[in-house]
Amino acid sequence: MKLVDCVSEVEQQLQHAKLYFGHGTDNARDEAAWLVMAASGINVGTFDGDWTQELSVQQLAETEKLVLKRIHSGQPLAYILNSAWFAETEFYIDERAIVPRSHIGEWIPECFEPWLDPTGVQDVLDLCTGGGCIAVALALVLNQARFDAVDISTDALAVAAINARRHAVSDRIRLIQSDLFTALPDHRYDLILCNPPYVADQLMDELPLEYSHEPEIAFSGGSDGLTIIRQVLAESRAHLTQRGLLVVEAGSAALSVESAWPTVPFTWLMSANGESVVFVLSADELDAFGQRFV
């Protein structure tokens, strides 16, 4: 069977199983292609585009095994493969950390220009780092900067350590177990990034099955989804340099952010899919509106 035909067949199987696609892909076709190539030993990152290549009996057998595991387990494919792509980079992932899919990754290759001058970035803080993908991906671009990657979960930090070693940036990324800023040293950063838990309580029970395999702590954002975001907004200015920038993904709580602080001039970054769920605030803007976050 040709690769293209196998992908089409797997696509139909995934659609029939009524799976959820949102952990590296957002549709059955893309996930089918990822699954078939992974099962066939085809490197997604270096794939030459030959969709007419013939798959061997062994490759087809491995594909079928992987399809059945994806369907019957309900696990995100990223966990089954222990692999996820984020900001054009492949990372290790397992169930100790949330599958990386933050919209923040879209601005990492350009280092958040024009809102930030990357040449002036020396110290970066990644709050709620999870598997460390934001910190590591940005460290590969800002190759002179130093990073503190913080998470409350020691399990997640163990995954982050694997990724820092895999991409040879361990010497520039310090992993810190902390409840947000609590255990941080008295230090200021040129850039603070945060992809926090932001799912409101009423939405937690509505999450697809695939989400149940991920750490609940990575999602639960309190009654309105703003529990962690409030803390970040209230405390981040004390940890930013005078020209520093705060970047936060608000996700499903984006409207709640606007409703809670209607006079704050959030700059919302539009993602490739048309969503605007990541906001930036400068140190000056936090100075002007800081008391409103307390």
Rg (CA), the chain: 20
Count other Cβ atoms within 10 Å, centred on residue 153: 19
Task: Round to whole Å and give the CA distance between 162 and 207.
Answer: 28
Task: For the domain covering 101-293, report its CATH number.
Answer: 3.40.50.150
Strands (E) in 37-109, as ranges, are: 84-86, 89-91
Residue 164 Cα to chain centre, angstroms: 15
What 88-94 contacts at long range (C-beta under 8 Å, 24+ apart), as own/partner pairs, is 88/137, 89/133, 89/136, 89/137, 89/140, 89/167, 90/44, 90/45, 91/131, 91/132, 91/133, 91/136, 91/163, 91/166, 92/131, 92/159, 92/162, 92/163, 92/166, 93/131, 93/159, 94/159
Q: Copy the structure tokens of residue 240.
A: 């930013």
Task: Round to whole Å and give the CA distance between 82 and 101.
Answer: 14
The pLDDT assigned to 254 comes to 97
**CA dist 248 to 125, 187, 267, 281, 294, Å?**
12, 19, 11, 9, 17
Task: Round to whole Å and give the CA distance between 262 and 39.
Answer: 49
Q: Dihedral sign for Cα 151, 269, 186, 234, please.
A: negative
Strands (E) in the chain, as ranges, are: 84-86, 89-91, 123-127, 146-151, 173-177, 189-194, 240-249, 267-269, 278-282
Which residues of the chain are modeled with pLDDT < 50? none
CATH class label, 3-81: mainly alpha
The pLDDT assigned to 294 comes to 66
- Whether the full predicted model's pTM is greater than 0.75, yes or no, is yes
Q: Helices 154-166 & 133-141, crossing angle to 10 degrees?
A: 30
The residue ranges of every structural domain in the chain are: 3-81, 101-293
What 3-state DSSP class applies to 271?
coil
Element housing 15 (H / E):
helix 3-16
The pLDDT assigned to 21 comes to 96
